[in-house]
Structure 1
């Protein structure tokens, strides 16, 4: 997974890298440009000195040597002018120094002369380095100032965005608290704030309408279902019906019971979504599982094997705890044949329920989705496990499923 970074960190990193590259390139460019100017100045100074020496010789002066800066020798043959760097001993400094040397050959007053002039360039190099270093220091100080100024300014500019982002993170459809969005003098941020306000208000309105519709439908379904059930009971009790009619009526009764169960579970999900279960108590799941097992055994489900390694207690609503255990055991029973064993284990902060299965689920990732059924032949509502997942989400419990050694295994970790 790609590592994420904040926008300010990314922009600051780009600014930092760009500034460092520019600082390095500008220092290098300044170094070579200043070096070129200094060398050119030294070259001009050497030629200027050579012309003065030549002028002195033409005027008949005899004392014109100043070793090692100026050396004049008579030669038999003229040579080529040479401009080069050389290291010679400087008696004034009593050490070897780097000089720029110009050797020229001139015929003056009928005589051939080699005129050598030198200029010490060590000081020039020091001057060059001083310029580059001082420029680099100034650039770095300016860069640091601009970097922190730019970061501070960006924080101020982006502050409304970050505050609104925090408000969006806290946004919940189940609460009616308004979003306290911050306006900004930046046009884009101001438009974003307005769009967020419009969107959240519309989502809340749609959610309230959908919630009200669900509650109304669930409520209105109860009366006609009760009436249909009563009429079927009267039909069976007051009139003689044949076997085929009895079979059809029994099928209708099963469908009515399924509709009642569906209505009840939709109502439960709606109440969970509306945070109507707020009574938190310390519930002993060990005792609750034992009670549920006894209830199911009375309904001829005697193949439930329960093992409790220690006391398991959680803090949650008692009614939701009852639904949680009931739905898990009911789900295992629905998918288990009469002679097959269902194992239930509680240990530490863990509840494990496993039942025999011939093969693994084709789409286990959809197992906790509402109205999802692995097989069309299954007559369940498809809401039992969805309710279990919803309850776990409310209390931050971790539910998981796996198929291992021909067994479907559901586990709930109650440690937060």
Structure 2
């Protein structure tokens, strides 16, 4: 997954990189352009001086050589013109100085002259450097000003978007308060605000309708199931039935109980999804496990042991804590081999449930899916571990499974949620 970047930081980063590249390119271009321009001016001056010297020779005017700036010599033949840079010693500075030199050959009055014109280029380099430094300084100052101006302006423009984003983060389906969004004079942000208000209102209405529908279905299912159960009890108590009829009626009763459990678990899952369990308390799961074990003993289930290595305190809804413990123990009982022991080990940060088995689960990653069952012959609803997973996800608990030494081990790590 690519790392996320703050919007203003991302746009500012783009602005900085673009500005830096443009500054560097413009300075390089200015340097070479100015250098070329100054060189052209120097060469124009050389040609101008050479033209004056040639004109003076043609009109028989006296022209004195002034080394190293101007040198005039008679030669035997003409040669090609040469334009170059040369280093000449300057006794006043006691250093070598850079000159631009134009060396030409002219035929004047049937005589050949070698005319050499030089001009100092050191000063032009200093001017070039000063221009570039000034340009960089102006760019940097303008860049800093534009950057802060652009950032401040963008922050002001985008502020309604950020305010509305914060409001959406706090949005809750269970809250009765309307979503308070900030108006903006930017057309797109204004349209986004209107769409958010429309969608949140529609989602709340749909949520309330679905919640009411689920509650109504749950309530309506309980009534006919209770009536069916009562009629079956009347048949058993008021009529003589044979063995086959008794087995059929008993099977019907088991199916009724399974439907009741299924309805109860689906309702629990729906309420967890809708964040309806918002009663948070500090509870001792250690004590809750001991209480459940005592309840199972009343049902003649005496093969459950609990080893506590420290009181396990959790911060969660009491009803969901009870469901969590009950589902884990019920799952261990349903999937244990006959007359085998079930062990529960707790410490201050974790809970582990051990139950015997002949082999590891084929698809342990699917255990937390709704209605998934490894054994199709099993009469369970396939929702127990799905509810356990939902509860763990709700509070940030880490649920895991492993098969070790002929035992299924379900572990919940509570430390990561604290």
TM over 0.5: yes
Bigger mean CA deviation after superposition, 55-64 or 333-342: 55-64
Question: Is 1:15 the counterpart of 2:15 in the alignment?
Answer: yes
Alignment of 1:31-50 (within 5 A): 31-50=31-50
- CA distance in structure 2 between the partners assigned to 1:366 and 1:189 by the alignment: 43
- Deviates further, 321-330 or 14-23: 14-23
- Offset at residue 365 of structure 1 (A): 3.5
Aligned residues: 416
Q: CA deviation at 1:238?
A: 0.9
- Which residue does the alignment assign to 2:178? 178
The verdict on how the C-alpha distance between 1:5 and 1:318 changes in structure 2, with shifts beyond 3 A counting, is closer
Between stretches 244-253 and 189-198, larger displacement belongs to: 189-198
Q: TM-score, normalised by structure 2?
A: 0.91
- Shift of the 170–358 alpha-carbon distance from structure 1 to 2, 3 Å rule, reads farther
Identify the residue that residue 325 of structure 2 maps to in structure 1: 325
Give 1:94-133 correspondences, 5 Å limit: 94-133=94-133
Q: Counterpart of 1:160?
A: 160
**Distance in 1 between residues matched to 2:278 and 2:65, nearest whole Å:** 107
1:384 equivalent to 2:384? Answer yes
Q: What secondary structure is seen at the aligned counterpart in 1 of 2:178? A: coil
- Structure-1 residue corresponding to 2:288: 288
Name the SS for the 1:112 alignment partner: strand
Match of 1:67 in 2: 67
SS of residue paired to 1:88 = strand
In 2, are the aligned partners of 1:68 and 1:90 still within 8 Å (CA)?
no
Please state how far the C-alpha of 1:325 moved relative to its aligned partner.
Answer: 1.2
Is the alpha carbon distance of 1:197 and 1:363 closer, same or farther for their aligned partners in structure 2, counting shifts above 3 Å?
farther
Rounded to whole Å, the distance in 2 between the matches of 1:373 and 1:191 is 48
Q: How far has the Cα of 1:405 moved from its partner?
A: 4.1
| Corresponding residue of 1:199 | 199
Distance 1:270 1:111 in 2: 113
Of 383-392 and 284-293, more deviation after overlay is shown by: 383-392
- Distance across 2 between alignment mates of 1:278 and 1:171: 15
Mapping of residues 3-402 of structure 1, within 5 Å: 3-62=3-62, 64-270=64-270, 272=272, 277=277, 279-402=279-402
| Unaligned 5+ runs, structure 1 | none
Return 5+ residue gaps in structure 2 as ranges.
none
- 8 Å contact from structure 1 (residues 351, 412) kept in 2: yes
Query: Does the CA-based 8 Å contact 1:174-1:273 persist in structure 2?
Result: no
Q: What CA distance in whole angstroms lies between the structure 2 residues aligned with 1:280 and 1:11?
A: 42
Query: Residue 273 of structure 1: CA displacement?
Result: 5.4
Query: Could you list the per-position Cα deviations for residues 125-159 of structure 1 after superposition, in whole angstroms to 9, with x for gaps in the alignment?
Result: 22122222222222232223222322222222222
Q: Are 1:53 and 1:64, in contact at CA under 8 Å, matched by a contact in 2? A: no
Query: Structure 1, residues 211-239: CA drift from partner, whole Å, max 9, x if none?
Result: 11111122222222222111111101111
Query: Is the Cα contact below 8 Å between 1:56 and 1:64 reproduced in 2?
Result: no
- CA distance 1:184–1:407, change in 2 (3 Å): farther
Q: CA RMSD in A?
A: 2.4
TM-superposition CA deviations, 1:287-337 (whole Å, max 9, x none): 221222232233233322321112223344443322221111011111112
Paired with 1:315 and 1:29, the residues of 2 have a C-alpha distance of 67
